[in-house]
Structure 1
Amino acid sequence: MTLPELHLADWRPTKDTLHLYCQIVGKIRLATTAPRNHWWNVPLYVDVRGLTTRRLHHGGTTFEITIDFVDHTVVVRTADGRTESFPLSAGLAVADFDARLHAMLAELGIDVEIREEPFGVPMTTPFPRDTEHAAWDRDAIARFGRVLDWSDAVFEEFSGWFNGKTSPVHLFWHSLDLAVSRFSGRPGAPLDADAVTQEAYSREVISFGFWAGDDNVGDAAYYSYTAPEPDGLRDQPLPVGEWIEFGSGSLAILPYETVRTAPDPRTTLLAFLQSAYEAGARLAGWDTAGFESTWCPSPAQLQELHANAAATFGRAQERS
């Protein structure tokens, strides 16, 4: 499969509009699911047509909401066979999306109240008053959907190499990033932070993900970080990608464009994910051998993975 271009500047208005749509749908998911550790009850998921809430429960009914990137619609399906939808197109403001989705849910008897304001993004206008964000570039949405589908598949493969506690591969709507996380099983460091952050980092974690792009990282990119961050993490060599300073810590970053144009995008991304994991886990003292699953490549195969990526990107001498 040839991966499409996804430069932030080419679809920024649509990306911001989609982000806010996802926040509304995500908040409905939050309001209709029981709490889970690390907020695993709130994300959205990639499916064959776009993004979905999966099963939600309210008013004695099971239902799901899908943002369909193929037909460019929002679809609500209930367990008793009812289906309602409305089209997505240029000009549908966030305020209209919010009103139409709640009206559709009310007609089905499953509407819920949400906090009608964005979370964790630069946009601050409450959803019912946001008439500014109304872009919908169908081609850009289709390209984004293809990138999500491909990235989700690689993350699933990588996730299968680890037999410890692992998150699902899911999309966090507050930052619009597709993510998967591994845990050591040990408590995290105490944090002087809000309740959302405290719960997210209540256990030692190494996270991996894909950002669609924003003002902080620019164009779309893959990332990894270790929390709490062990000393010396930023000094560890990577066969592809770079460590950058991000907030109060370090972030391994691999531009999506580097992956897209690589001779073998899949192995390039896997080499980045594995090397970032090895760096964080080794310095943090994780039992890396004990966490290898039956499906994890052998040490020789992992070494070959790293070496091939390093050679491709001119870093054959960097890996110790």
Structure 2
Amino acid sequence: MSAWPKLDYAADKGTVETLHLLLQLIGKLPVRLHPWINHGWHVALRLTPSGAVTRSLPAGARYFAVELDFLEGAIKVDCGNGFQSVLPVAGKTIAKVSRELGSLLADLGLPAPLHGAPNELPDPIPFAEDERPREWDADAARRLHEAFLCADRNFNLFRSLYLGKSSPSHLFWGSFDLAVTRFSGRGAPAHSGGVPNLPDSVTREAYSHEVISAGFWPGGGGFDEAAFYAYAYPTPAGLADQDVEPDAAFWKAELGEFILPYAAVREAADPDFEVQRFLNSTFVAAGGLLEWPQGLVIDPPPSVGRPPHSA
């Protein structure tokens, strides 16, 4: 049996959408409490063995972090003094979770700027007003978390092979994708913006410099199944015509990205190897057309716990 779990976006869509909105809710905290870090990296969440967590957030002289636990169906608030408060979320509306989380944070003497509405979604409903019933399938949440962890493992390896500027492997709650991004060090043309319910200034800062980015998302947003993706900004002429690996990968013109269906990865004899083929071949294709600086990719991979080229 594959260590990569089976995903079925059509069957699990309700739970995927619930997870997405809950991550959007806790994602508002670093937006409003943490200093801006280049390309919006401060708002992205980090995967944990059980879910996804914010950065440490300042609260006067105190610090706290908020995690969505996929496995327990709960939001956990870690106050940094050994005290953790748990708020069950399974089966609740987003409005109810928003009210209860706001009250919980206030009772702990922590800031709770949870107002507003989701980003990067069409026709968003403010959190406080979203009383629509929400699905929660514990098995679907567990499988999606396992898939994110498999992708994270591969993205961390891919990141370790690049000596230039690279983002961490982190989860963007707006588009609900885990991503890792490499930079050439050169500036890029101003982005046109136009992302639904996201200020153009945010998009333009995110793409202020040349990038080759890869990621994983559970489905939706133009491709209704779980998949890996890769793209470059700016998109060089001829990128769509480049040969990339493995054979299951293809160019999705509507998205302007290469796509590798998750199902093809899971069914492969060596899923991790297939992901690395995809990440490396798409990077080589885009980097070659954009004439990125040479000598920044490490080969062979470094040992765990040892700097590259060390004795």
Q: Per-residue deviation at 1:295?
A: 5.0
The answer for the alignment partner of 1:301 in structure 2 is none
3-state secondary structure, aligned to 1:184:
strand
Match of 1:233 among 234, 239, 247: 239
Trace 1:31-180 onto structure 2 (pairs within 5 A): 31-90=32-91, 92-180=92-180
Match of 1:291 among 269, 293, 296: 296
Cα deviation digits, residues 26-53 of structure 1 (max 9, x gap): 0112111110110011011101111111
| CA–CA separation in structure 2 for the residues paired with 1:125 and 1:175 | 16
Q: Per-residue deviation at 1:61?
A: 1.2
Contact between 2:51 and 2:70, CA under 8 Å: does it hold in 1? yes
| CA–CA separation in structure 2 for the residues paired with 1:296 and 1:49 | 28
| CA–CA separation in structure 1 for the residues paired with 2:228 and 2:245 | 14
Q: 1:178–1:57: structure 2 CA closer, same or farther, 3 Å change rule? A: same
Match of 1:281 among 267, 281, 287: 287
Q: What are structure 1's unaligned runs of at least 5 residues?
A: 298-320
TM-score of the pair, normalised by structure 1 = 0.88
Q: What are structure 2's unaligned runs of at least 5 residues?
A: 194-199, 303-311
| CA–CA separation in structure 2 for the residues paired with 1:112 and 1:204 | 35
Contact between 1:69 and 1:142, CA under 8 Å: does it hold in 2? yes
3-state secondary structure, aligned to 2:42:
coil
Contact between 2:74 and 2:88, CA under 8 Å: does it hold in 1? yes
TM-score of the pair, normalised by structure 2 = 0.91
Percent identity at matched positions? 37
3-state secondary structure, aligned to 2:26:
helix
After the TM superposition, which of the residue ranges 19-28 and 107-116 deviates more from structure 2?
A: 107-116
3-state secondary structure, aligned to 2:166:
coil
Q: How many residues align?
A: 293
After the TM superposition, which of the residue ranges 156-165 and 61-70 deviates more from structure 2?
A: 61-70
Whether 2:253 is the aligned partner of 1:245: answer yes
Cα deviation digits, residues 70-97 of structure 1 (max 9, x gap): 222211011223221111322x000011
Q: Per-residue deviation at 1:239?
A: 2.1
After the TM superposition, which of the residue ranges 147-156 and 61-70 deviates more from structure 2?
A: 61-70
One-letter amino acid of the counterpart of residue 44, structure 2? P
Contact between 1:186 and 1:203, CA under 8 Å: does it hold in 2? yes
| CA–CA separation in structure 2 for the residues paired with 1:152 and 1:192 | 29
One-letter amino acid of the counterpart of residue 284, structure 1? L
The answer for the alignment partner of 2:191 in structure 1 is 191
| CA–CA separation in structure 2 for the residues paired with 1:67 and 1:78 | 15
| CA–CA separation in structure 2 for the residues paired with 1:231 and 1:296 | 31
Contact between 1:16 and 1:133, CA under 8 Å: does it hold in 2? no
After the TM superposition, which of the residue ranges 272-281 and 215-224 deviates more from structure 2?
A: 215-224
| CA–CA separation in structure 2 for the residues paired with 1:54 and 1:68 | 15
